[in-house]
Chain A
């Protein structure tokens, strides 16, 4: 968002996610209470009824995920929000959304794990789970927020990508972004770009629900709109009915991946800061980006040619942007509040540049000073 007109508000990250979701057209929320994500559900329960939307608190996160898939099938943009333990429970139905290509957005406000972990402390331990948490081969989109304004903008972006590509989108937040209050300027609704799923342009009798096209994203009919069809988590043919024919199974799985690959240029979002002439760089995502930015600026003050690449999209992994940084810089630092999850993806790009890790797993934030110390030594 470039516009600077709008409503100036002091919001926490969780509140900005609600504002973003509503601006994107989300009118259904199902969730289950969990720290540090509960504010999203609380605010949704307050806001949705007046917008003719629906809030429901389900019996668990499995049910929450099921309910948002159901609402989306009926044509309503849907959101759920949770943290690690609940995100684990959502994986089952998340796979259904991937297989049946049901647009929906899942916010995971990361806290330290494994298991119940540190329920009020930040972490970035769920990166791999966001990508590979549900079983089977599947594409998915994962975005990471680093600020309150990100929470607003990227939640809109998440809905737009989800609708456009008929894929669940995971928004990874963390306890720091969720509970930090910052001033944000929310644009007028008219200035917000809102994308809706492509609906069938043919009459019901011609509708083939999973028919391939150039984008690899079939038109989606709202349940109950006259386009009666079958939706299943089984591998299905173009008509939506179960199939085990190898050629149909193969075509289905490959299309799921192709639709995302086709969209790489617009899905793989990154941001660069002072990278033009950088010799060393930090590749960061989420709240850690904030510390990295401060450290890079500090290093520049000392005459060190440091730069920052912020990964906004974690998956599909923005390989091209990372490769460019690796080719340009002699050393790259990847600070993470986990034992090293994104650094593995960076190393997979592999252009022989030295890649340095910085990991913190004590439930505390990585400070600018820690990153700065690395930059001095690089």
Chain B
């Protein structure tokens, strides 16, 4: 396993002076990155045919580390850039990594419309429930009652359930995982990338530096334990009452449907237009 991971790092990460990375010790982003390259290796995708696009924030630095075609776009807009790339070169596999603030606050409109449009893209949303890079301000997924740099008196807004939002908006594939359940995360990412149409994988991740520190979870281990205890597999959750599920969240594949995707539908329009 160690040997294999070492080889993947060599194969998929950039060799030229891009490390050490910018993330805090214990940050979940590294686990997501590891899972991503394992999923890509499993699918046998070539580096030249891969695009990793990101917005702004801690997650936004991930593209620098991978040896693909990479893009660090503007805050919240990565999906719009990715839309242009995918339509211009449909053969590319386009993956977008975003944070919770990036994807569902400033980029919320792009997110729901990308899901509705069902373009063949894979969006990974690392949900650490906070704005980490800017210093711990509350995000659209900061839980009610918790504390943040801009919620010194306790947070009074309610969190977006990102995966459920994506499913409702029309995404073809929706899954939620955590950085504790790393092996499952490999499967979820591979499943999302393989699925034609818009895929969303929400990854519950730890920002002990900015979120945990203000909410009695000072270190990475405590936060990982929290994910382990709060996460409930989708099939198990189906048999649980609302009271039992209070404060917990489901993990696994929430939606996986085959339906017409924009890329293929547009090609049909081109074919029709050329015949006339």
Interface residues of A (CB under 8 A from B): 28, 30, 49-50, 52, 54, 56, 58-60, 62-76, 78, 92-93, 96, 222-224, 226, 228-234, 239, 241-242
Contact = CB atoms under 8 A, between A and B. Distances in A.
B109 A28 contact: no
B9 to A, nearest CB: 17
B182 to A, nearest CB: 26
B70 A30 contact: no
A365 B247 CA distance: 63
Nearest to A47: B273
Interface of B: 16, 18, 47-49, 51, 53, 63-64, 67-74, 77, 79-89, 91-92, 109-110, 113, 266, 269-270, 272-274, 276
B87 A93 contact: no
A241 B18 contact: yes
Given A28-B84, A239-B16, A93 B74 contact: yes
Contacts of B53: 70
Contacts of B110: 59, 62-63, 66
Nearest to A241: B64
Most chain B CB within a 10 A radius of its CB, from A60, A229, A231: A231
A52 B83 CA distance: 17
B266 A233 contact: no
Contacts of A65: 80
A232 B71 contact: yes
Given A49-B269, A63-B110, A71 B72 contact: no
A307 B14 CA distance: 61
Given A70-B82, A92-B74, A50 B276 contact: yes
B110 to A, nearest CB: 6
22 contacts: A28-B88, A58-B113, A62-B77, A62-B80, A63-B79, A63-B113, A66-B77, A66-B80, A66-B84, A66-B110, A67-B80, A68-B84, A69-B84, A70-B88, A73-B85, A223-B51, A223-B69, A229-B70, A230-B72, A231-B72, A232-B71, A234-B72
A63 B270 contact: no
Contact of A74 (B72, B85, B113, B274): B85
B77 A63 contact: yes
Nearest to A60: B109
Contacts of B79: 63, 66
B273 A75 contact: no
Nearest to A99: B74
B71 A231 contact: yes
A78 B72 CA distance: 20
A66 B72 contact: no
A52 B88 CA distance: 10
A66 B88 contact: no
B84 A230 contact: no
A96 B77 CA distance: 11
A301 to B, nearest CB: 52
Given A50-B276, A228-B47, A229-B69, A69 B91 contact: no
A92 B73 CA distance: 11
Contacts of A72: 84, 88
Given A54-B87, A67-B83, A223 B73 contact: no
Nearest to B272: A49
